[in-house]
Structure 1
Amino acid sequence: MPQCWSFFSGLSGIEVIASANPAHVGENVTFQVIPPTALLSGSWALGDRVLVVTWLGEQQAVFPGHEGRARVNISSGDLHLSSIRVEDSGVYVLQSNDQPLRANTSLTVLEPIANVTLTVSNTELVEFTSAVRLACLASGSSVSFQWLNGSSEVMRRVGVLLEDGNRTLTIQNVTRYDVGPFSCQVDNALDGPEDMRLAVRGSLLVGSILTLFCQVSSQPPALLEWLVDGESLKATGQETLELGRVEERHSGLYSCRAFNNMTLRWTSVTKHLVISIQGIRL
């Protein structure tokens, strides 16, 4: 069953969204605080033990492993991390002593695919008698493999074995229809959709401008759809939904639904917004 839930990553309604997740080695990532929150002091950490940066007023201290790569925008609380590395993967935690504030988000950093090679155990084959084993090797993180015969995907069946995480393809008792050409397609992105989050910037006060942000990890990128009380909106395919100056009639269940047309999986996240004259800050 698809999942549907509301996500709050911290106290005081503060949430954090990564500009890219997953991201690749060498890219720059910003951890955006929603809503932007000016903090006189605070810290960003990777997990519970690795401090990234702390600040007090205008003074910032960047810790080993992140020197020259980490910077905090103290007017918004955002963390900018440049030239990311595989070891930068994990959960990033924002904390401040100015107010009871703790929020977090996750980041997965992938190494690019390299050194792809394909080997064949035997090229001199006899129909109905010989077997052949093809092996595909590649370096990188979260690597996945897919075999093609021409433009058609090779599927596991009687006499056709896909083993070692699809790295190897074995055809037993080959026939003339197994001529090929065979190719190995290598990918290192995540599938998904997963790690879905819905954040709201603004307040629930009548007349305020509200913006909803939808974030999801998916490869290929997920198709997004916005719904209110289960009814689809026209703003489909967009990561943000601008509500404009809201009225009480805009109250309801706001959902973002993500669909991956390769994995044929979908998931959604929902928040209940109540617009009133005494609205609260999110």
Structure 2
Amino acid sequence: MGRGTLAWLILTFLRVLESNAVEIKPSTNPAVAGDTLTLSLSPSLTFKSGSWAVGEIQILTWLGEQQAVFSNHTGRASVNVLTGALTLSSVKVTDSGVYIVQSTDPPLKANTSITVLEAVSNVTLKATQTSLTEFNSSVIMTCTVSSGSSLSFVWMNSSSEVNASERVQLTDGGSTLTITNVTRYDRGPFECHASNSVSNGSSDSVSLTITYGPDNMALTVNGLNTTSFPAGSNLTMLCSAQSNPPAELRWAFQGQPVNTSGPLWELMSVTKDHSGLYSCLASNNHTNLNSTITKNILIAGSSEHVVNAWLLLLFLLSRLLY
């Protein structure tokens, strides 16, 4: 074997080793649909010929300064005949795939996987209904987009992320939220966030009106929890209930309704006759529910004790004077 032949073999072997180390470097991956994508080779080489394909589909070939683009990429693909870099304009989701570059001068074959995604736009949230009754109603909310591919969905109830539970189902890839037997804590506002690895978007918020109650009633007297007061006191009784819409409040004494309504009942200069059971009755016409709270109030002593004290004092004074 002559020296020239040996040198040629060594050079060819070194170029093969060099070409096997070539990597395809995309300008971006994943790429956004509509953008321009460039696939460069690293390290940089000088080519005399080669071809690009995506999967089994031929994109283009080149020889010297001449290049030929196949019909499915006409007007969108070009190659740098010196560096072998491929440029695709207005990429589509269907351009996703494994891109292969081949050359015989220098000899090489390399590939890389490219993903093209549509950017998220116009995220919209719709609910089947927005007026519901606690424990008796269900709602389905759907999240849609005008464009976007390979989407992930996240639902928010106010500042908290919504997670699946016994009452809450996330279906259709997370784009549909179903809440059964709603509670007062399901009011929202709800938002839907749609995203992929190249973009994201959020819907406008939707709030639910949930009727509930009355329940969790409270009754205080003079702002205190005590139920015993001296005769002659003025009593201010305050009643509250959790309810939507606000509950209608009425009062009763010893089980008998009185001509007083609203959250406040005031009694002036009470006597022992005012001792007994005081009840606040709450009702909600939207839920058709009622609730009652009762306190047994004791009025200690009476005004008679004051009169008797004065009579005793007068008696003692008369004995001293006479």
TM-score range, shorter chain: 0.5 to 0.7
Distance in 1 (CA, whole Å) between partners of 2:88 and 2:172 is 36
Offset from partner CA, 1:213-237 (integer Å, 9 cap, x none): xxxxxx89xxxxxxxxxxxxxxxxx
- The equivalent of 1:23 in structure 2 is 31
Aligned equivalent of 2:256: none
Q: Structure 1 regions of 5+ residues with no counterpart?
A: 1-9, 191-218, 221-282
Q: Post-superposition shift, 1:82?
A: 1.4
- Distance across 2 between alignment mates of 1:11 and 1:100: 6
Q: Which residue is equivalent to 1:177?
A: 185
Conservation of the 8 A alpha-carbon contact between 1:132 and 1:171: yes
C-alpha displacement of 1:58: 0.6
Q: Secondary structure at the match of 1:122?
A: coil
Counterpart Cα distance in 2 of 1:39 and 1:73: 9
Which 10-residue stretch deviates more, 175-184 or 128-137? Answer: 128-137
1:150-169 matched pairs, under 5 angstroms: 150-169=158-177
1:187 paired residue among 169, 188, 195: 195
Match of 1:145, as an amino acid?
Answer: F
Give identity over the alignment, percent. Answer: 53
> Matches of residues 137-152 of structure 1 in structure 2 within 5 Å?
137-138=144-145, 139-152=147-160
Structure 2: gaps of 5 or more residues: 1-17, 201-322
* Alignment: residue pair count: 182
Give the 5 Å matches for 1:102-113.
Answer: 102-113=109-120
Instruction: Look up the match of 2:285.
Output: none
Cα displacement (A) at 1:115: 4.9
| 1:42-121 paired onto structure 2 within 5 Å | 42-47=50-55, 49-121=56-128
Task: Specify the code of the residue in structure 1 equivalent to 2:25.
Answer: I
| Whole-Å separation in 2 of the counterparts to 1:38 and 1:99 | 8
Q: Distance in 1 between matches of 2:94 and 2:142?
A: 29
1-structure distance, mates of 2:59, 2:169: 46
Instruction: Give the secondary structure class of the aligned counterpart of 1:92.
Output: strand
SS in 1 for 2:143: strand
Give distance in 1, aligned partners of 2:80 and 2:19. 20
Contact 2:20 2:110 in 1 (8 A): no
Give TM-score scaled by structure 2 length: 0.53
Root-mean-square deviation (Å): 1.9
Which structure would you say has the larger RCO, counting Cα contacts within 8 Å and 6 or more residues apart? 1
The residue identity in structure 2 corresponding to 1:164 is D
The question of whether the paired residues in 2 share the 8 Å contact of 1:36 and 1:75 is answered with: no
The counterpart of 2:40, out of the listed 32, 38, 53, is 32
Compare CA radii of gyration and give the structure with the larger one. 2
What is the TM-score normalised by the length of structure 1?
0.60
Q: CA deviation at 1:151?
A: 2.3
Structure 2 CA distance for partners of 1:99 and 1:36, relative to 1, 3 Å:
same
Aligned to 1:127: 134
CA distance in 1, matches of 2:190, 2:104: 60
Question: After the TM superposition, which of the residue ranges 103-112 and 135-144 deviates more from structure 2?
Answer: 135-144
Q: Distance in 2 between matches of 1:133 and 1:108?
A: 33
Q: Using the alignment, how far apart are the partners of 1:58 and 1:101 within structure 2? A: 19
State the Cα distance separating 1:100 from its structure 2 match. 2.9
The equivalent of 2:261 in structure 1 is none
Post-superposition offset of 1:52:
0.9
- By how many angstroms is 1:27 displaced? 0.6
Q: Which amino acid aligns with 1:62?
A: V
Trace 1:127-276 onto structure 2 (pairs within 5 A).
127-138=134-145, 139-189=147-197
